[in-house]
A = this chain, B = another copy of it.
Amino acid sequence: MQPIRVAIVGLGKIARDQHLPAIAGNPDFALAATVSPRGAGLDDVPHFPSLDALIAAGVAVDAVALCTPPQVRYAIAVQALAAGLHVFLEKPPGATLSEVVALEAEAAASGATLFASWHSRYAAGVEPARAFLADRRIDRVTITWREDVRVWHPGQAWIWEAGGLGVFDPGINALSIATRILPKPFFLREAILSLPANRAAPIAARMTFSDAAGTPIAMDLDWRQTGPQTWDILVETDAGDCHLAKGGSVLTLPTGTETQDDHEYPGLYARFATLVRERRSDVDIAPLRLVADAFLRGERETVEAFED
């Protein structure tokens, strides 16, 4: 089979750290072009300032991976679908829920594949955790996601603006795992969002969720953690604890601990290849819906100003 010719749109940190190596390591894909309104491209790969310019140049592409900030993703995705291109959306799939729902309709009409990716779901421990939890009684869930924003998002102003998610940018990764591994859907009960005095998006959040059975699910999100970082989900069950650590790559079950190297983005691209070959879409908005609920229902408190 011919490789899928993919263009990366938005050549920032996530594209360079993750997408380029994953594409280079997967023979199902060939990097056909890059698009970025600012800055240079890569050696030996055609580079354009916009998707318009790429299409006008007649470069042969089958798919685009959208690594731009979420605020501009919808317009580019519609343009790509209209040109018959398959679309890989970085997370979150949009700045709003309604635009993702509208985009699904556009994809269905175009016949192209739309993939709303959640990279953390491809961490090594996630599917084994899901299998372990499928038949258990869940007694309690504790999600702790604490990291240093200065390390992970240095100088990324968009993440603090209205429409950026603030600390929910990493927090949605935890929610993408929790919605995958827990056997029942869950929903928000209470949220307190902590907003720096000089920013429009939260730097921390404390939440409680529940499922229909009343299972307590607590979530502690914080972007102010220096030193060791914490990306943990602890699920207490009638058959013992299921503990995902390091973002899902380390899984401890009553039978022992398994650790595997990161393979999230290779997993995403393998999934995207399958979807494109089978002309299917995969769009799950549950993680973004939970975040929207926290913004809709949460209380807000003002905390110390944050300077990058």
Contacts and interface: CB of A to CB of B under 8 A. Distances in A.
B289 A101 contact: yes
B97 A97 contact: yes
B200 A98 contact: no
A186 B102 contact: yes
A1 interface: no
A291 to B, nearest CB: 7
B299 A187 contact: no
Interface string A181-202: 0000111100000000000100
Given A187-B74, A212-B78, A163 B99 contact: no
Given A105-B185, A212-B78, A162 B98 contact: no
Contacts of A292: 97, 289, 292-293, 295-296
A297 B288 CA distance: 12
Contact of A297 (B163, B185, B186, B293): B163
Interface residues of A, number: 32
Contact of A187 (B102, B185, B289): B102
A299 B200 contact: yes
Interface string A266-308: 0000000000000000000010011111011111100000000
Nearest to A293: B96
Contact of A162 (B163, B211, B297): B297
Contacts of A97: 97, 289, 292-293, 296
